[in-house]
Amino acid sequence: MAKKSQKPDSASIPQTTGNAGETHQRAGGSAELLTTDQGIPVADNQNSLKIGARGPVLLEDFVLREKITNFDHERIPERVVHARGFGAHGYFQPHKSHAKLTRAAFLQDPGVKTPVFVRFSTVAGSEGSPDLARDVRGFAVKFYTSEGNYDLVGNNIPVFFIQDAMKFPDLIHAVKPEPDRGFPQAASAHDTFWDFVSLMPESTHMLLWAMSDRAIPRSFRMMEGFGVHTFRLVNAKGVATLVKFHWRPKLGTFSVIWDEAVKINGADSDFHRRDLWDAIQAGDFPEWELSVQAFSEEEAAEFDFDVLDPTKLIPEEVVPLTPLGTMVLNRTVDNFFAETEQVAFCPANVVPGIEFSNDPLLQGRLFSYLDTQLSRLGSPNFHELPINRAHSPVQNQQRDGHMRTTLQPGRIAYEPNSLDPSQARESVERGFTSFPAAEAGDKMRIRPESFADHYSQARLFYNSLTEPEQRHVVGAFAFELGKCEVLAVRKRMLGRLALVDQELCDHVADALGMPGQAEKLKPAVPARDLPPSPALSQYLKAPQSIEGRKLAILVTDGADEKLIAALKRAAKAEGAVVMVVAPKVGGFTTAGGEEMPADFALNAAPSVLFDAVVVAPSEAGVEALLKTAAAVDWVRDAFGHLKAVAYTTAAEPLLAAAGVQPEADEGVVSLKSRDGLAKFITAAKRHRLWDREPQVR
């Protein structure tokens, strides 16, 4: 591979060169000299020390270790990142033996179910922050295999903001609440974040994802997961295959829209947690298929990007997914703190047959996660906590330490020994052995030139989205940059967007009232036009289904019990549930005089909590609803959030008060006709009525 990037991106600050197009401030002039905590001057704060430009990171890199160690120990006991999390138990079962790919035991026998624990999380917010923040979602899976624990610690977005772990503390410091004021919480819409990423061209691709609907998922159950990095699978013959891991949800990948997310956070800040809990408690167990994109070193060398660069993805049209098996979550935790909060993930926890690549972000994570757990859980024996304990035998000569609970008899605590032949011994045949990858090169802090294209895949992602998805990206950038007080930051970020797509830049600039003000930046590598990848769009591949969805029916005294029963039957047949919303939680009396319970009171259950709605008051009941702002907003929001809305004749005055025309589009369905309910279910299967959006937003 080439040694270094030749022309860095230009920006409005002094630059140093040789780091794959990064721009950062040079020490000199009035700037203070950057040093380690020991006062040692730092020559390069951008790159880890590696063997060659694409080689592994060296343990001797004291600058990296000090920086990461300090960052890992900043907060106790809450996680510095991924503090807001929710977990569940389940199992993983392979479809068939994958012996050609890997020797990993849990991927061999389709009759074996491997226990798993999964923790979903947001990244930036504190433990008490709301679920629907615009943020990356963590997707961490602990496999309790017969050969020990394997942790696949990923996100719901396949790329990341940075290329080297050296920059992770800076990224998180930038996105966290600003230290002089302690806000904003769980939000990237502020100056320090956008100042940092606008100076880091490598962040551009991830920013497009973060400003897309992917960052505000409808549910954990409807969220993809990715391993992000390139890993290596090795089979029993020692043959290695490079892979990217993918989790694909059975229910499809869906999101909410921004206005809806804002209102959900106010109505139910635990929306994602509650959704997963309710589904498992109801026996509606979420499922994901685990797949890999598998490719050889030779194929990787032919790609027009570097597979060691975590800001890049492999389009599925280039390397299709190979399904491995299914994960099912079927049990909630017994104690949130003991399990969800004390679970300790680490990308370095691998089993024989799964290994790492030289991705410099991954290499840093291999050190950082273990260091973090030592601080957060307070002991090197955190592996003995029940949630972290391996289900396979643990036998070694490690002893003592804070909070040790294992009782190990005998006088032997070393290896080799001749005094106790029964003591555990190493095994070349069964033990973990590393793939003998050849590494050679000079020790250096540098990015390879193959990491320097920061805009082609960002353009690929944007051009692969549907028109509604593109509108949402524009709206997100406009909202976030609109929160930035520093004009230079907004101009610089507009300059980055112009390098991705001029139309995108123009739309965002117009929304900000800043047409023509984008800073002129010169990329290290100009963006190339790549063939669109339909797989990158949520909605092009979305299933036409309401399975796993929540429908709501708004009723009053005198409501038609037959309609309610028919709606519940129709929803159940499609795998959905119906929640009854009434003016009061105590219930209502039907037209037939039957006393029926309500699931929610109207003022506690805005329509943002549901996927589609039916408005079915009685003629007498609608008069009271017309005087209730919550009822008018219930209908107005459902329509404005592009959901299917069915209504009875008695509900028409309420629709009028909400500004919704009867049968305004295919998603506004009258229940007068015999097939009205079927039409409503069909409309709800579309998830959103996107054609409505230009009229209401």
pLDDT in tens, 476-489: 999 999 999 999 99
Residue 411 belongs to a domain: no
Name residue 248's beta-bridge partners.
Answer: 289
Is the distance from CB of 506 to CB of 433 less than 8 angstroms? no
pLDDT at 76: 57
To the nearest 10°, report the CA torsion of 371, 36, 82, 378. Answer: 30
pLDDT of 295 reads 98
Give yes or no: residues 344 and 471 share one domain.
Answer: no
190 and 293, same domain (yes or no): yes
Taking the C-alpha atoms of residue 343 and residue 351, their distance in angstroms, rounded to an integer, is: 18
pLDDT of residue 9: 55
**What's the CA angle centered on 386, arms 383 and 390, to 5 degrees?**
55
Which of 369, 384, 399 is at the close of a domain? Answer: 384
The CATH number linked to 667 is 3.40.50.880
Question: Are residues 343 and 484 both part of a single domain?
Answer: no
- 564 and 531 both lie in a single domain: no
Indicate whether 684 belongs to any domain.
Answer: yes
Helix axes 502-512, 467-482, angle to 10 degrees: 50
Q: Between helices 561-573 and 676-684, what is the axis angle to 10°?
A: 40
Chosen domain end from 487, 514, 536: 536
Residue 111 burial by Cβ neighbours in a 10 Å radius (0-12, 13-18, 19+): exposed
C-alpha of 520 from chain center: 32
Q: Same structural domain for residues 116 and 261? A: yes
Q: Is 603 a catalytic residue?
A: no
Q: What tokens does 379 get?
A: 């002991």
Both tokens of 381, joined, read 């024996």
**Domain assignment present for 649:** yes
Whole-angstrom distance, CA of residue 153 vs CA of residue 151:
6
On whether residue 16 sits in a domain, the answer given is no
**What pLDDT is stored for residue 40 in this prediction?**
80
User: Could you say which of 536, 570, 593 is where a domain stops?
Assistant: 536
Provide the CB-side half-sphere exposure for 303 (13 A, CA): 23
The answer to whether residues 214 and 335 belong to one domain is yes
| CA gap 533, 535 in Å, rounded | 5
Helix or strand (DSSP H, E) at 619 = helix 619-626
> What does the H/E/C string look like for 222-288?
HCCEECCCCEEEECCCCCEEEEEEEEEECCCCCECCHHHHHHHHHHCCCHHHHHHHHHHHCCCCCEE
Residue found by looking up tokens 């999380």 in the block: 121
Structure tokens at 578: 């119906």
Separation CA 566–CA 271 (nearest Å): 27
One domain, residues 527 and 579: no
In this structure, the answer to whether residues 474 and 606 fall within a common structural domain is no
Amino acid at 229: H
Which of the following is catalytic: 19, 24, 82, 388? 82
| Residues 512 and 587 grouped into a single domain | no
Name the region of 409 (left: φ>0; alpha: ψ -120 to 50; beta: rest).
beta
Strands (E), 583-664: 588-589, 595-596, 600-601, 612-615, 645-647
Tens-digit pLDDT profile for residues 149-192: 999 999 999 999 999 999 999 999 999 999 999 999 999 999 99
Is 82 among the residues known to form the active site?
yes
Number of Cβ within 10 Å of residue 149's Cβ equals: 22
Round to whole Å and give the CA distance between 217 and 224.
9
Q: Which residues contact 168 (CB under 8 A, 6 or more apart)?
A: 68, 71, 162, 361, 364, 368
Specify if 59 maps to a domain: no
531 and 565 inside one domain: no
Residue 458 maps to which CATH number?
A: 1.20.1370.20
Angle at CA 567, nearest 5°, toward 565 and 569?
70
User: Which contacts of 627-634 are long-range, i.e. CB under 8 A and separated by 24 or more positions?
Assistant: 628/583, 628/602, 630/602, 630/603, 630/606, 631/554, 631/602, 632/657, 632/658, 633/606, 633/607, 633/658, 634/554, 634/581, 634/602, 634/606, 634/607
CA atoms within 13 A on the CB side of 620: 8
pLDDT under 70: residue ranges of the chain: 1-30, 75-76
**Distance between CA atoms of residues 291 and 217, nearest Å:** 21
- 249 and 131 together in one domain: yes
187: domain CATH number is 2.40.180.10
Tokens found for residue 591:
């037209």
The pTM for the full model equals 0.92
Cα distance from N-terminal residue to C-terminal residue, the chain = 48
For 467, the enclosing helix (H) or strand (E) is helix 467-482
Candidates 591, 566, 582, 580; CA nearest to 677 is: 566
- Judge contact between 581 and 555, C-beta under 8 A: yes
**Residue 434 belongs to a domain:** no
- Overall domain count for the chain: 3
**Any domain includes 220:** yes
Residue type, 283: G
Q: Which is the catalytic residue, given 19, 47, 155, 358?
A: 155
Q: Is residue 71 part of a domain?
A: no
What is the token pair recorded at 374?
A: 């030592």
- Name the token pair of 541: 């591949």
Q: Do 573 and 509 share a structural domain?
A: no
Q: Which domain holds residue 574?
A: 550-696
Ordered DSSP codes for 16-58? --SSTT---PPS-TTSPPPB-TT-PBPS-SS--EEESTTSPBP
Tokens representing residue 125 in the block: 């917010």
State residue 439's pLDDT score: 92
